Structure 1
Amino acid sequence: MILATALVLTVAGGTAAAVQGGLLSFGTSCQDDPVRLRLAASPDLAPTLRTAAQRARDDDLTSDGRCLAVTVTARDAYKVADELLAGEKSDFQVWVPDSDLWVQRLRTDRGGSDVSHLGNVASTPIGMAMVPAAAKSLGWPRKTYSWVELAGAALRNDSLRLGAADPARSATGLLALTRLAGSAAGSADGGTRAAAMMKALSQRTSDSDGQVLDTLPRDSSGTEQGNPRRNQALVLTEQAAFAYNDADGGGSLDFFYPKDGSPRLDYPYTLVDGSGLTTDESRAAIRFMNYLDRPEQRQLLELRGFRTSDERVTDALVTGAGGSRPQPYAEPAVQPPPDTALEETLGVWTITVQSARITTVVDASSSMSERVPGTDRSRMDVTKASLLQALATFTPEDEIGLWDFSTELDGDKDYRVLVPTRRLGDPADGGTQRERLSAAFSDLTPVPDGATGLYDTTLAAYRAATSSYVEGKFNALVVLTDGVNQDPGSIERADLISQLERLSNPERPVPLIMIAVGPDADREEAEQIARSTGGSGQEVDDPSQIHSVILKAIVAAGTRDTDGN
């Protein structure tokens, strides 16, 4: 599985023969001056890599005639990623997280570290593990389910409690949740359905992959009757189920492999700050990676429940994890989701976990009637469709409102409140708040000859959002504009920013998310204004991207709120 490619040789330097052969071995003298390599690994993989590192030392594995002294430390991937994104210097040369999504996050962030992906150590599919009584009630192993069917069955049954690791901190949780959202998207009410499932799942979420196993019943029957805190089903990897079943005194889990495909953890082997490593360190890192690809180390990985081939999986591994035919455990892994899908899932999760209170303010100036290039639809038409798509991701507990703005829409005011910010499930005008908002979104219309009264509107909307702050919810203000301020009688930008800074309160955070739509909007100005509240400025060329950008900005704001900065 591990690939020794031209890229590897370029990073390591030297010739292929040098890398493969260990170079200039001087026998036992190599132990006198070893190359010390520090490796941080996902906690589930770290014990196996630690065993392999000891084997390498016992085998006198050399690089350039010097023995390898590899130290393996277990580190949660999300913590390492956060540190590297913050620009902190790593104390290790090699990082093996559980998923490439952490590496991609570093690469797409402008402040990301220099991380080089050299190959993959192992893989493991993600499915749903259950205590035997729960699995039997769902017809395991003969009956197969899709992700939505499995989650739906677990969440509908009060006695079959489903737990998972926090998708903001767990690749297992995020990949499974993204797959679940994608599976639900095929139905007419897919967005609402997925959000409802996330809401229910969020009530039984653990901080990390390691902690989620601690929520299983402790008694041998797997029921632990009368304890509502215990889960009977978990979103879990095959390897985690294998390790649980294999542990001394461990319980017994049966494993469902969803019929619409299992995403996989892929354990990328990466060099951290490759440009700052010495030649000896780079070559040693490659040497150890190649050592892990030897048959005896592959066997070690498989004995610990990891897969080492995309084409083959042993019956012993599947059986040890609680799998059985006709569960589709041998099906190829599904394609990794695109970054946009992961961001959207995290965005929905962020607002679902806390519930949200969001007021949306939409530019209704005449320029919103201009056509979107390549379509026969106006900016407003595409904006409305994207907002309706976003609305579908919110639950009845979320509070959403709508303003529009131009110039002098309500007397001398540039803005008007179309729908006050209230719970989507509340009754309104003979229907619900959700239905009222859907109609209001659909009715948004550009004002003929209307200009962009951006500054006064932003201040008024932010003042209303902060004064109506609701404790325990994710509070935010979203302002969409396709232009710059065109109201000569409004406050100045500097005054706007100063007043926003005075209104914002870190203990009652209301981030402003300002989205600059189209070529006439000013992203730098949007960022400057929004940053004064702890929010962010975003830019989209196509209004159809608004839905994704809102969710991405919510993730960023929600993370800052959680971290307290």
Structure 2
Amino acid sequence: MTERLAGGRSGGRHRAPSTGPGRKVKLVAFVLVPLLLLTLGAYLLFKPDGGSGAPVACGDERVPLTITASPSLAPALTKAATAFDEGTASWVDGRCATTTVVSADPNVFADTLRASLEAGGGANAPTAWVPDASIWREVLGRRPELSTALPRTFPVVAVSPAVIAAPRPMAEALGWPESQPSWAELVELAKAADGWAAKGHPEWGRVRIGWQDPLRDAASLTAMMSLSQWATDGAETVDDVRRGLLSAHSALASLNLEQEKVMAGLTDTKTTPEDATKQAMLFPTSEREVLRYNATKPRIPLAALYPSDGIHPNEVPLITVHADWVTDQQRAALDRFAVFLVTGAENKLMAADGWRTPRLQTEADTAQGVVASEPRFTPSGPNAWSLAQSLQGWTALDRQGSVLVVLDTSGSMNERVAAAGNATRLDLAKQAIADSLPLFSDRTNIGLWTFSRQENRADHTVVLDLGPPSRNVGGETAVQALQKSLDGLRADGATGLYDTVIAAAAAAQNAWREGNNTIVLISDGKNEDPGSASLEQVLAKLEPLAGTERPVRILSIALGGEADAVTLRRLADAAKGEAYVAREAQDLGKVFLAALTD
């Protein structure tokens, strides 16, 4: 078990060095369970009998706990919660717990938590969250309002290494279980024209690697981080980053893999085992999924590959929500539940379901498709910022559609932000745009508008029309022209919001292309044009957008405490989009990235 360190990162784990050829071991701090050990110590010191052995009773009043858990964890946690509530393990100050486990994926939990924060609590307000991987905390933490409610320090109650699943014959051709491939080896093999022939199996054809949606599968997300880091190591410019990611992307046969279909293909009796193997893909998943699949005794079992470069494991955290509705007694009871999960008999429930202990211990072995001594090295976990940057680079290359950024350049954007080195709000917005839009490929049209109230002409200014990033604009690429234009942007005047939104929606529909067509609307104020359309008129124009054959959605970002966040949310909701809030201007960069990668 590890404790989350400052900045949301955990120390990398270093285990016994490999004896495999060409493997380099990275020396990284191994941080062992300080948080849970402290909790366990407190439990033993202040256990229900006060150390005297005297019997205690729970009392009539109970401490209610509502724990939202990922669907893969909910059944085992429900059984554990029942045992926790039946005895006195949950005893705190004369009261025991009544624990309710709610099954929900991270996106649903995010909506519930956001609604609870806005309402100040309520009947459905969660007291704790147990996702199937701690990286989901960083995914939700890209939104500042959710980040505050989700502490970066928490106990880890189970672990499943993130792995590359391969049909066992293919894994053995790569040297499994004695040795593990590096990212470089996997990418080189996938790009090689002779494919599996290099490993003595020309009948299998090319080496095919697929990827699930990283925002739906934790192992794919952490593997994406590791592969991206390898691909961009040493990159100094945006172009270097883009080239590295393109090189890695070009090795992948699919970016929309569905794990269930791949596994079903291996068990399909309509094809021979030889043909099924030839059609199979290697793909990121959790070790737990490999164990569960192999437990069905398939004709072609899977094996778990552990890239020698490392992938951060799927650590299962118990995160106590930091909010006014969570009492000290509930926090103490949740600490006891974490100890109960790790030290009680209920720990076997997790092990039986394919999870390892927090210290990566497991009784599973190669007969079940896994290697107990792996992973030898696990890198430190990402924070919300590095995660958003990696997601932006990963998704931008494959994204289709359009992104039109509509930026407020009214006078209030000149306000300086002390926490950001005294840069202005406009400076921060320009930097966010400069760091992000150049990563898009020509599969996505990009454009930039600015707006402030103008007399006798439109409130908006077209800085860059929607179009492919590589198109020619005045003798240079659109991206180069965009970078120069950003340098020249100035803030002045009042906020001409409503007419600009109507015009941007029309422009985005006119330039619509197959895929995800999005307006990213950034404003730090409210509409200050008395002669403009009313809010009701704007909403009436936006509402039909989502239902047309050329849908356009709006992602609004309210920047700073003076922004009209309520109106910006209504604009986003009308177009079936999302509303973001960067109450601290220095958060704009990561909120902008969150909007582009949602």
Structure 2 length-normalised TM: 0.66
Contact 1:478-1:515 within 8 A present in 2 as well: yes
Q: 1:484 to 1:217 in 2, by over 3 A?
A: same
Contact 1:269-1:289 within 8 A present in 2 as well: yes
Q: 1:191 to 1:519 in 2, by over 3 A?
A: farther
Matched residues in 2 for 1:436 and 1:296: separation?
A: 62
Greater Cα offset, 94-103 or 15-24: 15-24
Q: 1:437 to 1:23 in 2, by over 3 A?
A: farther
- Given the alignment of the two structures, is residue 469 of structure 1 paired with residue 469 of structure 2, yes or no? no
Matched residues in 2 for 1:507 and 1:135: separation?
A: 47
Q: 1:77 to 1:390 in 2, by over 3 A?
A: closer
Matched residues in 1 for 2:343 and 2:487: separation?
A: 65
- Post-superposition Cα deviations, 1:158-210, rounded to whole Å, max 9, x if no partner, equal 8433344433333323333233334433235324643786796764333xx7x
Residue of 414, 428, 433 corresponding to 2:472: 428
Shift of 1:554: 3.5
* Structure 1 SS opposite 2:484: helix
* Structure 2 SS opposite 1:127: strand
Q: Show the counterpart of 2:207.
A: 160
Paired AA for residue 475 in structure 1: N
Residue of 246, 253, 257 corresponding to 2:306: 257
- Given the alignment of the two structures, is residue 98 of structure 1 paired with residue 135 of structure 2, yes or no? no
Paired AA for residue 127 in structure 1: V
Paired AA for residue 481 in structure 2: A
* Structure 1 SS opposite 2:155: strand
- Post-superposition Cα deviations, 1:116-164, rounded to whole Å, max 9, x if no partner, equal 9973321122121211344356555566555576467547768433344
Q: Show the counterpart of 1:190.
A: 241
Contact 2:362-2:372 within 8 A present in 1 as well: no
Matched residues in 1 for 2:585 and 2:147: separation?
A: 27
- Post-superposition Cα deviations, 1:346-389, rounded to whole Å, max 9, x if no partner, equal 55666666523112345678998998867698877765554232
Q: Show the counterpart of 2:547.
A: 507
Q: Show the counterpart of 1:24.
A: 55
Residue of 461, 468, 480 corresponding to 1:438: 480
Q: 1:368 to 1:281 in 2, by over 3 A?
A: closer
Matched residues in 1 for 2:299 and 2:82: separation?
A: 27
Structure 1 length-normalised TM: 0.69
Contact 1:124-1:238 within 8 A present in 2 as well: yes
Q: 1:370 to 1:272 in 2, by over 3 A?
A: closer
Contact 1:359-1:400 within 8 A present in 2 as well: yes
Matched residues in 1 for 2:369 and 2:47: separation?
A: 38
Residue of 114, 117, 129 corresponding to 2:165: 129
Shift of 1:527: 5.6
* Structure 2 SS opposite 1:322: coil
Shift of 1:99: 2.2
Q: Show the counterpart of 2:202.
A: none
Matched residues in 1 for 2:191 and 2:301: separation?
A: 21
Aligned pair count reads 533
Contact 2:182-2:307 within 8 A present in 1 as well: yes
Q: Show the counterpart of 1:238.
A: 287
Unmatched segments (≥5 aa) in structure 2: 2-32, 117-121, 196-204
Query: What does 1:524-539 correspond to in 2, within 5 Å?
Result: 533=575, 534-536=577-579, 538-539=581-582
* Structure 2 SS opposite 1:262: coil
- Post-superposition Cα deviations, 1:416-449, rounded to whole Å, max 9, x if no partner, equal 5454322346x536989xx322233224453789
Contact 1:305-1:317 within 8 A present in 2 as well: no
Q: Show the counterpart of 2:387.
A: 342
- Given the alignment of the two structures, is residue 172 of structure 1 paired with residue 219 of structure 2, yes or no? yes
Contact 1:217-1:223 within 8 A present in 2 as well: no
* Structure 2 SS opposite 1:205: coil
Contact 2:76-2:350 within 8 A present in 1 as well: yes
RMSD of Structure 2 on Structure 1 (CA): 5.7
Matched residues in 2 for 1:50 and 1:197: separation?
A: 41
Q: Show the counterpart of 1:359.
A: 404
Greater Cα offset, 171-180 or 513-522: 513-522
Contact 1:22-1:63 within 8 A present in 2 as well: no
Matched residues in 1 for 2:416 and 2:379: separation?
A: 38
Paired AA for residue 322 in structure 1: V
Contact 1:212-1:234 within 8 A present in 2 as well: no
Greater Cα offset, 289-298 or 118-127: 289-298
- Given the alignment of the two structures, is residue 388 of structure 1 paired with residue 430 of structure 2, yes or no? no
Paired AA for residue 204 in structure 1: N
- Given the alignment of the two structures, is residue 322 of structure 1 paired with residue 370 of structure 2, yes or no? yes
* Structure 2 SS opposite 1:293: helix
Paired AA for residue 553 in structure 1: A
* Structure 2 SS opposite 1:402: strand
Matched residues in 1 for 2:414 and 2:95: separation?
A: 70
Unmatched segments (≥5 aa) in structure 1: 559-565
* Structure 1 SS opposite 2:161: strand
Matched residues in 2 for 1:139 and 1:270: separation?
A: 39
Contact 1:133-1:223 within 8 A present in 2 as well: no
- Given the alignment of the two structures, is residue 402 of structure 1 paired with residue 448 of structure 2, yes or no? yes
* Structure 1 SS opposite 2:446: strand
Q: Show the counterpart of 1:120.
A: 156
Q: 1:548 to 1:54 in 2, by over 3 A?
A: closer
